[in-house]
Amino acid sequence: MRRRSAPLEVFNLSALDLFASALGAFIVLAVVALPYFPKVYSDQPAEPREVIDLVIVLDSTGSMGAEIAEIREDLKVVADLLGLVSETPALGIIDFEDAACPSNGIRSHALVTLSPSSLRSLQSFADSIEPGSVAPDGTNCNTSNGEALSEGLQAATQLAWRPEASRHLIIVVTDEGAHPSSRDAGVRAAESFAARHALPAGGTWRIFCGGKLAQSSTGASLDFTQDCRTMAERGGGEFVSLDSDELSFIAFVMRAVLSD
């Protein structure tokens, strides 16, 4: 009996999406890594890679679900990127809500040199971040104007930054401003962080803040990004709008890491 030919449906749309995503990630890694590969025919030794400390400061209130999911998913790629451009990269995470929540609305993972075990710990911490401000008794603790933006930034500046690192970077992601009562403290923390470049160890100390428009209960867009802008500028870095669909979290990290 003649065998019937099967229809050629090997690649469905889901598989194509998967391959396209993998190819995109490979291209990003290749482009970032290219300047750090030594020239095959050069007699000159490759330039030493920088030592980078990076801390992610993430707003984890209820409106940040999509950003939290993206950071969870992309954390391994961020670690790989840091490993390509840095000799011994270190990564930390600060999670902030409302200052009325337990522990002043702050949870943190220490700044740790990246390794397989430390990356697992960082990923576990990122996976534990849930959108929303809920106290242990189940009540909503997001009851005041603004979020613990200043407190989160201050917590990041107080981590154990390595003096041997040549670049010290804080990346903030939020859609809300600081509590009015702590706004000035946050700006002072940003200024103090940027001023550390004058220390004997020197190096680059910068804050990058990614802000997005908030949504009111009626669906209207609300712009609370001014504090984010101010802290980035006073912190020697840059404000970046995250409302564009073309700018992913990975692209935001690359922009900060590769900035002059």
Taking a C-beta distance cutoff of 8 angstroms, is the pair 255, 244 a contact?
no
Domain for residue 220, yes or no?
A: yes
Nearest-angstrom CA–CA distance, 225 and 213? 7
**Average pLDDT for runs of 10 along the chain of length 260:** 46 44 52 47 59 96 90 95 94 92 90 97 96 72 84 97 95 93 96 91 92 67 83 95 77 88
Which residue stretches of 131-225 are H helix? 149-157, 183-194
| Residue 27 is assigned to a structural domain of this protein | no
Spatial contact of 127 and 72, defined as CB atoms under 8 Å apart: yes
Task: Give 140-163 pLDDT, tens digit per residue.
Answer: 777 778 899 999 999 999 999 999
Residue 239's domain comprises 50-257
Q: Using CA atoms, how far apart are residues 77 and 71, in angstroms rounded to an integer?
A: 10
> For 105-154, what is each residue's pLDDT tens digit?
899 999 999 999 999 999 999 999 988 876 666 677 777 788 999 999 99
Please report whether residue 120 resides in a domain: yes
Q: How far apart are CA 241 and CA 252, in angstroms?
A: 10
Specify the CATH number for the domain of residue 125. 3.40.50.410
Let me know if residue 45 belongs to a domain: no
Q: Evaluate whether residue 10 is within a structural domain.
A: no
Overall domain count for the chain: 1
Helix (H, G, I), strand (E, B) or coil at 210: strand
Whether 16 maps to a domain, the answer reads no
* Per-residue pLDDT at 1: 44
With a CB cutoff of 8 Å and minimum separation 6, the contacts of 48 are 87
